[in-house]
Structure 1
Amino acid sequence: MLRATLRTVTLTEAIAATISYAVVAVILMVDVIGREVFYTSFLGLQQLAVYGAIIAGFLGLTLAASDNAHLRPALLDRLTPPRLEQLVQRLGDVVSAAFFFSGAWICWSFVAHSMDSGDRAPVLYFLLWPLQLVIPYAFASAGLKHLIFAADPALKPAASETMG
């Protein structure tokens, strides 16, 4: 069940991030072609591209958590006795989950404030909070993944050799 949950969430996030980056690419191409070929500019296209890149970037945080690919200090890895290695890794995942869940709570407070105050995007004037929802989601998703890794370490991918 945990494996299926992890796989489904990760696949959904990967598809959403890919679509976000594709939309960013199309928007920027339309903007450049419009300016260079037709000598006209479309109001707000660059801002939309920035918002799309922000969405894709935060989803990238969750994908890095899925792949165990976050940059981290490896200094203490050599100090951990082999018999405690699995316990320390599980503890690390629990601490990471607590960090990400705390971040999600703080980010949700930010989004709630944005909802209450009715913050709008400059130039385009749409409400910002729907786009901002990706921020607490990304932190909560990364926290959930670390909890899954703590519960079942076999689901955690091996750390990339290039990361350490």
Structure 2
Amino acid sequence: MTAGLPPLNNAEEAVVRALGRAIIVVPRALDADLTREQRLSINEYAALMHLSEAPDRRMRMNELATACDLSLSGMTRIVTRLEQQGFVQRIRCAEDARGWNAVLTGAGLARLEAAYPTHLASVRRHIVDHLDGLDLARLADALRRLATTGPGAEEPTRKPGPNP
């Protein structure tokens, strides 16, 4: 299977290993900061964020799960927790009565806005502050290509502009 493929050089090997470690460490660090300071998991924050960016602040449950890179059952558990706190409502889809929409409430938007400063500080500390001097547009493009190749790697859509 590796016939004809050159081995990784030292720089390539270093990137692969560092990226593998970052994929594990960074989400844990972001989650720890949000959980400690806001009592909100990174997955709950992501669900609120994606809903805040969606038209009418609503998304079908399966679309929200895809946007958050979670299974539908995992997203259902998160939305249930957010619903119990009054941050999200679940309503039947008007288009087909079989599906459900998750809808961000006013309280959910306020909760997202309250958590945003913690998330911003965490993202800066754990990610952005380590990228000084890099071409961020090229890096983002390379990471986007990495994240959108292979099975199940659909890129979630989001509206442009600043977001909490």
Structure 1 or 2: larger strand share?
A: 2
- TM normalised by structure 1 equals 0.26
As a proportion of its length, which structure holds more helix? 1
User: Of the two structures, which has the highest relative contact order with CA contacts closer than 8 Å and spacing of 6 or more?
Assistant: 1
Work out which of the two has the higher radius of gyration on C-alpha atoms and give 1 or 2. 1
